[in-house]
Amino acid sequence: MSDKITFTIDGVEIAATKGQTIMQAADEAGIYIPRLCWHKDLSPGGRCRVCTVQVNGRPQSACTHPAGEGMVVLSETAEIIDQRKAIVEMLFVEGNHYCMFCEKSGNCELQAMAYRFGIAAPRYPYMFPERKIDASHPDVLIDHNRCIRCGRCVRASRDLDGKNVFQFVNRGYEMELAINAEADLAKTDLAGVDKAVDICPVGAILRKRVGYAVPVGKRLYDHTPIGSDIEAKRKSDG
Ligand code: SF4
Ligand code: FES
């Protein structure tokens, strides 16, 4: 029996292999579905919901939902686009994101997503939470003001570094990133070379002493929108 399936995304027929997620199949076909908590080196977290699509009329996370024969997937409807924008806007107001002062500016996936969606100002009021910065570690700092609770560092530390340095505590709006030490980051076994240090989509986890090595203006999303690498595939395939 063939392990090939076909389904549609916004009316475009997609060839996929059984076992692939909708997002994997879409990526291969050059269709970008926005995402924030997904990372190519990690198992999908299904946390941010930016990748939500309609599958046969029901909302599902494209990063976790398996592609199925004959599925009808909608991704770029006005309603779904607005829901994605609302999530991104919520992330901006829930934290303290001052892009112009952030080392990650130009490489930040949240900022890039806002540009891609054309978000000029969030529809929600800013909450200005009081969050801490932990600069105790000799090689790494965490600025909790910028954490969007995507869980990438949690999965990377556990699955790629074999360490479990990060975890979430509390629930709902109170949820926050914690470390596996009583005091501060310096007391954990995090090393500057750990994969968890590189995997943050925003400027919440930063390596020290390498700031601005790539000048603003020459960074990943300074000239090309997020997702354009995936979309380029479709254009080159004709
Ligand atoms: S520190 Fe970064 S990688 Fe970790 S949960 Fe927060 S935003 Fe995600
Ligand atoms: S990318 Fe799918 S839930 Fe975050």
Are residues 152 and 162 in contact, defined by beta-carbon separation less than 8 angstroms? Answer: no
pTM, two decimals, is: 0.96
- Cβ of residue 42 lying under 6 Å from some atom of ligand 1: no
Instruction: Give the C-alpha separation, 207 to 85, whole Å.
Output: 29
The structural domains of the chain, ordered by start, are 4-76 (3.10.20.740), 85-207 (3.30.70.20)
| Predicted confidence pLDDT, tens digits, the chain (238 residues) | 689 999 999 999 999 999 999 999 999 999 999 999 999 999 999 999 999 999 999 999 999 999 999 999 999 999 999 999 999 999 999 999 999 999 999 999 999 999 999 999 999 999 999 999 999 999 999 999 999 999 999 999 999 999 999 999 998 878 899 998 888 999 999 999 999 999 999 999 999 999 999 999 999 999 999 999 999 988 776 5
Instruction: Give per-residue burial for 181-201: e unless 16+ CB within 10 Å, then b.
Output: eeeebeebebeeebbbbebbb
- Cβ of residue 37 lying under 6 Å from some atom of ligand 1: no
Report which bound ligand comes closest to the CA of 165.
1
Instruction: Give the C-alpha separation, 29 to 24, whole Å.
Output: 9
Which residue has the least CA distance to atom 8 on ligand 1?
150
- Cβ of residue 148 lying under 6 Å from some atom of ligand 1: yes
Are residues 42 and 158 in contact, defined by beta-carbon separation less than 8 angstroms? Answer: no
pLDDT at residue 56, rounded to an integer: 97
116 alpha carbon to ligand 2 midpoint, in Å? Answer: 17
